[in-house]
Amino acid sequence: MPRDECLKILAKHRGDAIAVAVYNAAFDWRRVSQSPLNYYSVGAMGQGSSHALGIALAMPSHKVIVLDGDGSLLMNLGSLVTVAAAAPPNYYHFVCENGGYEANGSHPIPGRGTVSFAGHARAAGYPHTFEFDALDKFEAEIGQIMALKGPVFTTLKVEPGVKSTHDFNFVNSRETHRAFTAAIADVVARESARR
């Protein structure tokens, strides 16, 4: 499935969720779902799932989506056990599996074609795990997936779609970080006002 097409489908069900996106998924996500609630994790490979866990635990009444890569997750497989043990009900983990370290020249990942990331998540204790290799099936089920109580793990078998601009200046800029911080503060203030 083209990664950007998968992300377009997910974006329709995002609502006001916070999205933590890594590397190439981050650049695609910026193109298909611009929001100050996007947290771009493009400088610390493998840490997207952990960053998202911290946000999910700090903001338990707000959905958090992780847009991970297979190579990135391999750098931090232990995060699956940590997430499952913490069991944040607002945590939705999507792994774009393309079988390679795309950000580093598309070198193949270890276990390419045999490793099951959904299987790892299931064994770690995620209560809900899914795997998709067809856009129509993903589109048919994404609404139900996003309605589940997390943590939820979904593998998306992808290939690069339309190439997105790799704007490192934007994702690493102070302005982008300030906009995210301000958006989070606004969410916290609104949630506090409801209590």
Q: Which residue has the higher pLDDT, 70 or 23?
A: 70
Inter-CA distances, 40 with 33, 53, 86, 120, 130, Å: 12, 14, 23, 25, 24
DSSP string over 34-91: --TTEEEE-SSTT-HHHHHHHHHHH-TTS-EEEEEEHHHHHTTTHHHHHHHHH--TTE
Closest CA relative to residue 100, chosen from 91, 92, 112 = 112
Q: What pTM was computed for the model?
A: 0.90
Q: Does the N-terminal peptide bond of residue 151 adopt cis geometry, omega within 30 degrees of 0? A: yes
3-state secondary structure of 120: helix
CATH number, domain with residue 179:
3.40.50.970
What is the domain count for the chain? 1
Overall average pLDDT of the 31-58 stretch: 88
Find out whether 16 and 37 touch, Cβ atoms under 8 Å. Answer: yes
Q: What is the pLDDT of residue 180?
A: 87
Q: Which residue has the higher pLDDT, 173 or 56?
A: 56
Residue 23's identity, in one-letter code, is: Y
| Least confident stretch, 67-81, 122-136, 160-174 | 160-174
Q: What is the pLDDT of residue 162?
A: 62
The runs of H, that is alpha helices, within 87-173 are 117-124, 135-147, 168-171
Give the domain extent around 83. 3-194
Neighbours of 5 (CB within 10 A): 17
Q: In the chain, what percentage of residues exceed pLDDT 70? A: 87
Whole-angstrom distance, CA of residue 135 vs CA of residue 138 = 5
Structure tokens at 104: 């580093």
Whole-angstrom distance, CA of residue 160 vs CA of residue 7 = 11
Q: What is the pLDDT of residue 127?
A: 97
List, for residues 99-157, the tens digit of each pLDDT value: 655 555 555 666 667 789 899 999 999 999 999 999 999 999 999 999 999 999 999 99
Q: What is the pLDDT of residue 58?
A: 93
Q: Which residue has the higher pLDDT, 65 or 26?
A: 65
